[in-house]
Amino acid sequence: MLMPTRHVNALTIDVEDYFQVSAFAPYIARTEWDQRECRVERNVDRILALLAERGIHATFFTLGWVAERYPALIRRIVAQGHELASHGYGHQRVTDLDPAGFREDVTRAKQLLEDIGGELVIGYRAPSFSIGERNLWALDVLLETGHRYSSSIYPVKHDHYGMPDAPRFAHPVRDGLLEVPPTTLRMFNRNLPSSGGGYFRLFPYALSRWMIEAVNARDGEPAIFYFHPWEIDPEQPRVAAADLKSKFRHYVNLDRNEAKLRRLLDDLRWDRMDRIFLPDLAPAKTRDEVALA
């Protein structure tokens, strides 16, 4: 039996809309995005309310495309004490870009987020965790464009992403750049995804919580958990043209996910990525937060 831990884990939200996910890219052209019903603002506002109720702060990896269209939402995220980080501009996988295209994408997103949010953006997460063995040059670009950490290399084997032999925990990848991988649990001689997303919707709640607590207790490390605003929105429009595998991955247990997230927020301790991994660069906690810690 695992002993309870007092680790503070990193809570992260990848701010994108349902029609921007990589699985639907073959079925929804980028030129159609502005014609789709956008639901990201209302969903992020629901997440902000959930966090405010509990006094939790998180990191919002946000698309520049979203920031450009909903600047007031970006300001609300910052005003409520959350970390604003980059998810790139247009949710293009790094594997689909060359170095020049990637530089343009991350520079555009960073500038937009900083101009709107009024705070320095130091964190980046690649869409679909699309930095791996074939494009490690992206880390050099991130460093050169002023980022100080990435959460983009998932040390798992997956059909769309992953670098199974990569380190499982936060580690410097360049002088001045930290990689903070999504959490995995080492079992059966392999790394098991334990950081949220579709796995959290698929797995029983007790298993997901146990995996996070196992990393805290056995490895002595904070976990990194992520989810998307569309994952608390079971009424989102369906993409009828998508293949069955993509539909299953995207829609499985959407109707149960918000309740599971509420339990997770209540059961474990959470904070922003920068405060946990780069405290010297993060804003200090308020007096009230210190009292509650």
* Confidence label for 184 from pLDDT (cuts 50, 70 and 90): very high
The proportion of the chain whose per-residue pLDDT surpasses 90, expressed as a percent, equals: 89
* pTM for the full predicted model: 0.94
- pLDDT band with cut points at 50, 70 and 90 for residue 188: confident
Over residues 159-184, mean pLDDT: 92
- Decide if 148 is inside a domain: yes
Centroid of chain to Cα 5: 23
Range of the domain at 69: 8-292
- Mean of pLDDT over the chain: 93
Residue 3 belongs to some domain of the structure? no
Q: How confident is the model at residue 156 (pLDDT cuts 50, 70, 90)?
A: confident
Mean pLDDT to the nearest integer, 119-123: 97
Question: What percentage of the chain carries pLDDT values higher than 70?
Answer: 94
In this model, does residue 4 exceed pLDDT 90? no
What torsion, rounded to 10 degrees, do the Cα atoms 135, 141, 143, 144 define? 160
- Report if residue 125 sits inside a domain: yes
Classify residue 19: in a domain, yes or no. Answer: yes
79 lies in some domain? yes
**Are residues 58 and 11 in contact, defined by beta-carbon separation less than 8 angstroms?**
yes
Domain count, the chain: 1
The CATH number given to whatever domain includes residue 75 is 3.20.20.370
DSSP for 70-126? Answer: -HHHHHHHHHTTPEEEE--SS---GGG--HHHHHHHHHHHHHHHHHHH-S---EE--
Q: Is residue 2 part of a domain?
A: no
